[in-house]
Structure formats: structure tokens, C-alpha cells
Amino acid sequence: MQLLCSERILQLPRSGIRRMFDLAAKHPDAIHLCMGEPDFATPSFIIEAAFQAAKEGKTHYTPNAGFLSLRRAVAEKYKKEQGAYYDPEGEVLITVGAMEALVLTLMSILNSGDEVIIPDPYWPNYQAQVLLAEGKPVFVPLYEEGGWILTADRVLSHLTPRCRAIIINSPHNPTGSVYGSNELQEIVRVCKENDILIISDEAYEKIIYDGEYHSICSLPEMKSRTIVINTFSKTYAMTGWRVGYVLGPEPLIREMTKLQENVAACASSISQEAALTALKRGEEAVMDMLTKYRRRRATLLQEIEKTRSFSCCPPRGTFYAFVNVRRLGDKSEDIALRLLKEAKVVTVPGSAFGSGGEGYLRFSFATSEDNIREAFDRIRSIL
Ligand SMILES: Cc1ncc(COP(=O)(O)O)c(C=O)c1O
């Protein structure tokens, strides 16, 4: 009998994060410090906008590239915040979350065997997405001592003529690192000298604790070399609405829109209307959530400080802390399993984010301060 599934699909790795979630389901009394999404409800005025859109009959297919009103608002945002000018009629594509934006991007830029540099540790979906597009992921290690930032010399030591793109995810899941403009300049130099594209995943751009966010697309001559990926998921607590977008050079966006027609047709019409309201009126709600994340981050860092075997490079963005647990001597997966079974606390082992994450656990602070304190009391009682 023929194989039921294609080789393409069979080669996709299983997610280590999913595995922890499945195990955690057997412990209903466990505290979850593993969430990859905001615990907040979507702000109510955004939900109202969606109801209104549905009542007004915005329940049909939209243009493949998304409603022009939303594309205009996205272009306006990048002009205002990053000084980068995108044409809403050719350089913006609305997608089904950042997830689809990444798949469309990789399928549109890679030929079979082309390489993509992924700084390691990494959000695991990058690996699967590159493989899905028949590309080859090339992992370049990041180090805690270097603040989890990719440097030019490390890129150069992994570069081959087949390299097509580097994925820069800032703020970074799982480490919380954020690239400053000097650090971006280094990557820009390598990218220009070697004619490589940057895929800039900006999913957590608004969850940042000091300084301004710099998108690599705003640096001189980088707009034509950068594909910006962004989403409403994390910023506005809208993970289930599935709206994101891509900004990039017009010829590429044109081809990606053709692909979009064949993959999803368009992002949900109602979600697009909700996203438009989020962009127009969401600033205060975003600041409010950020204030809460900031407090939780402080609580988490205090608890880590009190826990003898743990240490951590404080996250500058995201709602994750990547905690060094090397002093415990075991593999990160074994430590995470022990915390789950004995302390009833769910974390994600660093190894789920690539070999560069071994020796670490990812703690999410998208949960209440009480939960964070209680989880650490439990952890300290078993260590
Ligand atoms: C770095 C990163 N990029 C993209 C995504 C996907 O976002 P979306 O919900 O828009 O598909 C996530 C989700 O966890 C993420 O952590």
C-alpha cells in the first residue's frame, strides 16, 4: 500500500511545547507558566466592532490582500512609528495571523534546498515552516552571555551561497531579547554584502520594557531587503481572531497575494474589521496590558532571585523569561517534568526551542502575580 502521508508532512518535527501541554493536561491542579498567549480577554470595544461588522453584512470574502481600509491603517502605523513608507495597494498583505504570513513568505522566496538562518534558541514553528517550503533551516547559536543577540561573525561562519534569508525575531520568543539599532546595523551589513533578505518577525513589538522599538525595515536601504511579519495576536490579546500581515517589496507581495488566494482566500472579514478598530483605538488598552506585564515581570524576577538554582538575563520584551537551570545538572526536559510532577508547575523545557535552549526553562508571565508567587513557592519547596 502507498504511504498515506507525504514525505513533506512526515518530516515535520513534533512540537516540544505541545508535548508539555499534553502532559500538563493530566495534572488539573498545576499552575501554568507556559502560556504562549496573553491571558487577557480581547478589549471589549474590539469585540463590539466585530459584532457591528457582522450585523452590517461584512460576512463575505474580502480582497485576497485584505480590506484596503485595514491595509491603509497598517501602512499608516509603519509610517508613523518607523518612518517606513509602504503602499497599501501593493506592499501590504493581510494574513491569517503571523503564522500564515510566515508560510506564505517562505513558500514565495525559497527554491528547494535554499537555506534560512534561524538564530537558536528559536520559536519552533520556524523550523517546520522552512521545511514545509522545502528550504533548509540553518541554526546559528545564541548565547546568554551575548544577551541572546545574533552577531555578524556568527552569521558569517554559517553562511553559504544557498542562504536566502535570516529570521530576526525581536522581541525574541523564548529569551525576551530585543535588538537595539547598533545590533541591527551589524546584521544589515552582512545582509547587504551578501544579498540576503531579512524576515523580521515583529509579533511582540509592543511588549517591550525599556526604550523604543526599532524595526530593521526602517534602516537605510533595508525596506527593499526586509519582509516584515506582524500580527494582532499578542499586542491586542487577539490570538483566536487570526489576523496578521506582511509588508514587503511589491513584486513579492503580488506573488504572495496569488498564493493567499489559493491557501485561505483571505483573512476573516469580521476579524479584519476588529483589527482595524484595534489599530485605530487600541493604544490605551495596549498600555494597560503592558503595565500589568511589567508588574508580573518584576514579580517573576524577584522570585527567580529568591530561587537558588535559578538565574536569568532579564527579558527586555515579550512575556517570557528564559531561566538558566544549569546548576541543577539535569537536562531541561527532565527538570520541566520534575517541576510538573512534583511541584505541579508547567514550564517549557529550553530544548523545545532548539539545542541552543538546553539548560534553560521558559517561564511565561502571561498569568497573575498570585500564580507566579504560588508557583515559585511550590518550586522552592521541592528543589
Ligand atoms: C515569535 C512568534 N511569531 C509568530 C507567532 C504566531 O502568531 P499568530 O498568532 O499571529 O499566528 C508566535 C506565536 O506564538 C510567535 O511567538
181-210 mean pLDDT: 96
- Arithmetic mean of pLDDT over the chain: 96
Ligand 1 pocket member 123 (CB < 6 A) = yes
382 Cα–ligand 1 center, Å? 33
* 3-state DSSP assignment of residue 95: strand
Ligand 1 pocket member 244 (CB < 6 A) = yes
pLDDT at 18 over 90: no
Q: What is the pLDDT of residue 1?
A: 67
Which atom of ligand 1 is nearest the CA belonging to 99? 11
pLDDT one-digit tens code per residue, 293-319: 999 999 999 999 999 999 999 999 999
Q: What is the pLDDT of residue 59?
A: 98
Which atom of ligand 1 is nearest the CA belonging to 172? 1
Q: Are 339 and 379 in contact (CB under 8 A)?
A: yes
104-127 mean pLDDT: 98
pLDDT at 171 over 90: yes
Within the chain, which residue ranges are assigned CATH 3.40.640.10?
45-281
Q: How confident is the model at residue 17 (pLDDT cuts 50, 70, 90)?
A: confident
Q: What is the pLDDT of residue 2?
A: 73
Antiparallel, parallel or unpaired: β 136-141 and 115-120:
parallel
Compute the distance between CA of residue 336 and CA of residue 16 in angstroms, rounded to an integer: 11
Report which of 343, 352, 346, 354 is spatially closest to residue 378, judged by C-alpha positions: 343
pLDDT at 45 over 80: yes
Which of 17-26, 96-105, 138-147 is least confident?
17-26
Q: How confident is the model at residue 16 (pLDDT cuts 50, 70, 90)?
A: confident
Place of cell 483589527: 275
Which atom of ligand 1 is nearest the CA belonging to 243? 10
181-190 mean pLDDT: 95
Ligand 1 pocket member 203 (CB < 6 A) = yes
pLDDT one-digit tens code per residue, 335-376: 999 999 999 999 999 999 999 999 999 999 999 999 999 999
> 121: cis peptide before it, omega within 30°?
yes
Report which protein residue has its CA nearest ligand 1's atom 13. 36
Ligand 1 pocket member 169 (CB < 6 A) = yes
7-42+284-382 folds as: Aspartate Aminotransferase, domain 1 (3.90.1150)
Q: What is the CATH number of domain 45-281?
A: 3.40.640.10
pLDDT one-digit tens code per residue, 54-69: 999 999 999 999 999 9
pLDDT one-digit tens code per residue, 248-302: 999 999 999 999 999 999 999 999 999 999 999 999 999 999 999 999 999 999 9
Q: What is the pLDDT of residue 19?
A: 87
pLDDT at 36 over 70: yes
CB neighbours (10 Å) of residue 102?
28
Within the chain, which residue ranges are assigned CATH 3.90.1150.10?
7-42+284-382
The pTM is what? 0.97
